[in-house]
Amino acid sequence: MDLIHKFLNLVAPPFTFFSLCLFLPPFYAFKFFLSTLSSVFSESVEGKVVLITGASSGIGEYLAYEYARRGACLALVARRENSLREVAEGARELGSPDVIVIQADVSQVDDCRRLVNETMNHFQRLDHLVNNAGINSVCKFEDAGDITHFRAVMDTNYWGSVYTTRFAVPYLRNSRGKIIVLSSAASWLPEPRTSFYNASKAALLSMFETLRVELGPDIGITIVTPGFIESELTQGKHFTKEGKLEVDQDLRDVQVSVFPVGSVQGCAKAIVNSACRGDRYLTEPAWFKMTYFWKAFCPEIVEWSYRLMYLAGPGEPPTEAPSKKLVDLPGAKKLVYPSTIQTPQIKTD
């Protein structure tokens, strides 16, 4: 057995290199051809049923509006019922023929079963499932006193999508529907203080890549990996080490720094377009995909950069990090942050 592994250690790298040199050009030409066809013959969602979790704000809210403009029927899910009803009314005004509101917490398996059942009872079908619900956490690993507080991050971001998908799969298979899952560029970027959030998004990526194999051609899966997009997360809302949700814009400035924050409306439009084309992956804004290549080919540089820019000196608060000082330069926030995230006011019931 050891001889076999030694042989493969010698042979596998050059074989892979030369195989890829021969295989990749025709493969990418074929993919370009398929991409062109899918753009021309993109799916129409008019009259189809779309279930969106985390629809009361941010990307989920604007996904509801984008699907509504295209004539889709909507089942909107969130914990905040009053905010959800406001979104539902906006979706109706934009052209959705039928919208229902389901108050639910996706971290609870019974709620996930119920929200799928209520959607099916009302519409009798399901065509798109959008797993969007998520919460952020900002805390250095060693600063977490009771580490069990962070179960909520994994329960919402990961298990919420998994539970809902499990109950929706039989109906999506019948309609040959699609799953859109909101992972994040954080799934590959090792940004400090967001280890639990990053892990939950990486788990989503791996889970739904595996489901793409298991579910085969019956159900299409689009995995979305956004960068920084205007939402409550980039307003500074996050889960603290005490297990509470709070809005801290100074800490937000540390984490986002001078990265430009993308438009939520543009992001939602790109996601729906991508899902209708049947894309496997989408990174929005598109330039943020380059961070993946930096991480893949130069991980030491990425790690060193984060350590240098995002961590303050020993005993200093996070707000002393260079990343915060950069965004505090005169005019920086107006240049890179939309006005919507420059206020600490978030939606409440």
What is the separation, in whole angstroms, between the first and last Cα of the chain?
63
Place of tokens 């996070």: 318
Instruction: Quote the radius of gyration of the chain (alpha carbons, Å).
Output: 21
Place of tokens 């019956």: 218
Q: Does residue 310 carry a catalytic annotation?
A: no
> If you write DSSP's letter for every residue of 16-30 in order, what string do you get?
HHHHHHHHHHHHHHH
Amino acid letter for position 121: N
Calculate the alpha carbon distances from 151 to 137, 200, 239, 315, 325 in Å: 11, 10, 11, 27, 32
**Nearest partner of 149 among 45, 36, 241, judged by Cα:** 241
Calculate the alpha carbon distances from 202 to 28, 114, 194, 347 in Å: 26, 27, 12, 28
Contact call for residues 251 and 234 (beta carbons, < 8 A): no
- The residue annotated as part of the active site, out of 65, 67, 158, 197, is 197
Contact call for residues 230 and 264 (beta carbons, < 8 A): yes
User: Three-state SS for 141?
Assistant: helix
Which two structure tokens, joined as six digits, stand for 323?
């990343």
Amino acid letter for position 17: F
Contact call for residues 209 and 224 (beta carbons, < 8 A): no
Place of tokens 């107006």: 334
Amino acid letter for position 175: S
Return all residues near 124 (Cβ < 8 A) that are at least 6 apart. Answer: none
Length of the chain: 349
**Nearest partner of 40 among 348, 309, 337, 273, judged by Cα:** 273
The residues annotated as belonging to the active site are 197
